[in-house]
Amino acid sequence: MKRNNLITKLSISFLAVCLIMTAGCSKQDGQEKGTTEKAKATKVHHWKMVTTWPKNFPGLGTGANTVAEMITKMSGGRIQVKVYGAKELVPAFEVFDAVSSGTAEMGHGSAYYWKGKNEAIQFFSTVPFGLTAQEMNGWLYHGGGLKLWQEVYAQYNLVPAAAGNTGVQMGGWFNREINSLEDLKGLKMRIPGLGGEVFKRAGGTPVNLPGGELYTALQTGALDATEWVGPYNDLAFGFYKVAKYYYYPGWHEPGTTLEAIINKDAFDALPADLQEIVLSACKVANQDMLAEYTARNNAALVTLVNEHKVQLRAFPDDVLKELRKISDEVVAELAAKDETAKRIYSSFKTYREQVDAWHEISEKAFLRARSLK
């Protein structure tokens, strides 16, 4: 009996020691976890953003600056983003790989520059005769486009976000008049993405060059024509000095989305609030850039026409109809290449049909009404 009592007392003592040790471990674990979370929340992240644009170039380069500045301010300095223009850290067309590999934490460009990675990602930039800026944002944010974009980019260790839009662009600068499709044949023109493929099938030779090289290429005759963005940017580059005719509309880029790409490892390492700040800053910058282009393009166009005597021309309807026909063929062929392209195209096409039907009695109808005299 005494022996049993002794065993019981020893068991109780052992249990008490275990409980004390467990409580101590739990407290220590809790303290360590709290310390870790606190350190994560207060850590300062130093990020590099590489861009495809010349440093501080109006609209595009300054749009990248806006994203960086907003992230830094909104995070209270917990993320500090330094922007590098094209060639400062990496060449313009190496931005995608630099961010994917972690050489830089962020990039700023447009998805059609990376068609060599996956042709289907061009849908997330712009499609000839496709979506306007307003329509593009609708597809990305509320039509399933962003989810598809994230899915594709995750394969490259990237998180994408819309971070700017130029609106409907101009058709380009030419040193000859375009009166028929025949006039496009043999032309060497800087025109990227799906628009370049359409131009090629129309008989031209598409060339993909970064913006900073276009003036010299036109001046030396390496290019016969170029598109860039619109009056606001084209005036800044001085294309009026080396090309005579300025054509509209930008059939090839009706609402070009500019992207921020984020290294997924760097993004996942952020606490939830900083992740939300990064994505929200991109969303605000996306809206701000479109507002800037809308506000500044016409004033720049007036300067080009009145001061620099640029000859403004509209593409003939017959030319646009032929380009639209070729464009439909190009996009349909792309959609048939693989399952990913098919899914993206299906989402894009369904959304475009719906929004076009609505805009027939809203945006288009209003603009027609406003132009009545």
What DSSP letter does each residue of 103-154 carry, written as one string? SSSEEEE-GGGGTTT-GGGGGGT--TT---HHHHHHHHHHSSHHHHHHHHHH
Task: Look up residue 7 and give its DSSP letter.
Answer: H
Q: Name the region of 174 (left: φ>0; alpha: ψ -120 to 50; beta: rest).
A: beta
Cα-only R_g, the chain: 27
Contacts of 215 (CB under 8 A, 6+ apart): 237, 238, 239, 241, 242
pLDDT at residue 129 in the model: 98
pTM of the model: 0.88
pLDDT tens track, the chain, 373 positions: 444 554 445 455 544 444 455 556 555 666 655 555 565 668 999 999 999 999 999 999 999 999 999 999 999 999 999 999 999 999 999 999 999 999 999 999 999 999 999 999 999 999 999 999 999 999 999 999 999 999 999 999 999 999 999 999 999 999 999 999 999 999 999 999 999 999 999 999 999 999 999 999 999 999 999 999 999 999 999 999 999 999 999 999 999 999 999 999 999 999 999 999 999 999 999 999 999 999 999 999 999 999 999 999 999 999 999 999 999 999 999 999 999 999 999 999 999 999 999 999 999 999 999 999 9
Calpha distance 170→172 (Å, rounded): 6
Q: In what order do the strands lie in the sheet with 257-263?
A: 79-84, 45-51, 106-109, 257-263, 158-165
DSSP lists the bridge partners of residue 162 as 259
Cβ atoms within 10 Å of 209's Cβ, excluding its own: 16
- pLDDT value at residue 280: 98
Q: Which string of b and e fits 312-343 if b means at least 16 CB within 10 Å? A: ebebeeebeebbeebbeebbeebbeeeebbeb
Within 8 A by CB and 6+ apart from 251, the residues are 128, 129, 171, 195, 315, 320, 323, 324, 327
What structural domains does the chain harbor? 43-165+255-293 (3.40.190.170)
Query: Which pLDDT value is given to residue 42?
Result: 80
Start-to-end CA span in the chain (Å)? 112
